[in-house]
Amino acid sequence: MNAIVEIRGRQALTTSEAVAEGCGIQHKSVLQVIRKYAEQFATLGEVAFETRLNPQGSPTEVVILNEDQATFAITLFRNTPAVLAFKLSLVKAFRRALNQIQRDFANPPRKGILAAKRASNKPMLAALIEAREEIGKPTGAPHFMCEARLCNWALTGRFEGLDESTLSNDEAELLEAIRDRNRAFLLAGLDYADRKARLFEFATRYRTRLLSYQQEQEAA
């Protein structure tokens, strides 16, 4: 089973897919129930639909559910042994996620982490200017934006602006590290495509090491 609960910024969320898989029912049945009781779900928060790729590579529609919405969804299904077991797993998963969010956004050290993350942006942009000057090209706002969004993409998988106040401490530290690494790549003269590939690999390795460390701490 995929992770029951995922963390996005300061929110713990699950999906209609996770509910369907956990309860041992078809995903389309969960979607039908959510649409049938859409008005009731909306009183518990925004009913957000997303399109994701299934394991076969085809797009599939899922609903993002907060804790209250997920709890309400489960009450609409018959209490089979699978549903009862999933209820308990879901409660525990949300509790772990909420505890993690509380740790991630604790102060200190959050203030210092965010300050370091902001400070890492200026040297990266200075490196961009230097790299472009060496090949006789000017640097303007679109180039700065492109580099910022490249780093955001390496962090989130989305090439867009980022509300950095929503980042956890771990995410803020990773973004700082990505910017520092991109600065080094710029000064080394790597082209955009090469930097993009290397930043993705760097972020993946960073997350893997962090996950291993967290698992070791939990086991200790």
Burial of 91: CB neighbours in 10 Å, binned 0-12, 13-18, 19+:
middle
Angle between helices 81-104 and 67-75 (to 10 degrees): 170
Q: What is the pLDDT of residue 1?
A: 45
What is the structure's pLDDT at 146?
Answer: 95
Res. 2: pLDDT tops 60: no
- pLDDT of 162 reads 84
Q: Is the same domain home to 39 and 131?
A: no
Share of the chain above pLDDT 70, in %: 91
Instruction: Give, in order, the Cα–Cα distances in Å from 140 to each of 57, 121, 161, 188.
Output: 38, 15, 17, 21
**Mean pLDDT to the nearest integer, 7-34:** 92
> pLDDT digits over 198-207, tens only?
999 999 999 8
pLDDT more than 90, % of the chain? 63
Tell me if 1 is assigned to some domain. Answer: no
Model pTM?
0.51
Residue 218: predicted pLDDT: 62
Per-residue pLDDT of 150-201, as tens digits, reads 999 999 999 998 887 778 778 888 999 999 999 999 999 999 999 999 999 9
Domain endpoint, select from 104, 129, 155: 104
Residue 209 has pLDDT above 90, yes or no: no
- Answer yes or no: do 82 and 159 share one domain: no
Q: Which of 12-26, 102-116, 125-139 has the lowest mean pLDDT?
A: 102-116
Please indicate, yes or no, whether residues 215 and 194 belong to a single structural domain of this protein: yes
Q: Is the pLDDT at 130 greater than 70, yes or no?
A: yes
What is the structure's pLDDT at 85? 93
Domains: count for the chain = 2
Shared-domain flag, residues 119 and 26: no
| Residue ranges making up the domain that contains 53 | 6-104
pLDDT, average across residues 97-118: 71
Cα→Cα distances 159→75, 145, 154, 206, Å:
38, 10, 8, 19
Q: How far is CA 175 from CA 19, 53, 98, 117, 143, in A?
A: 32, 26, 22, 7, 18
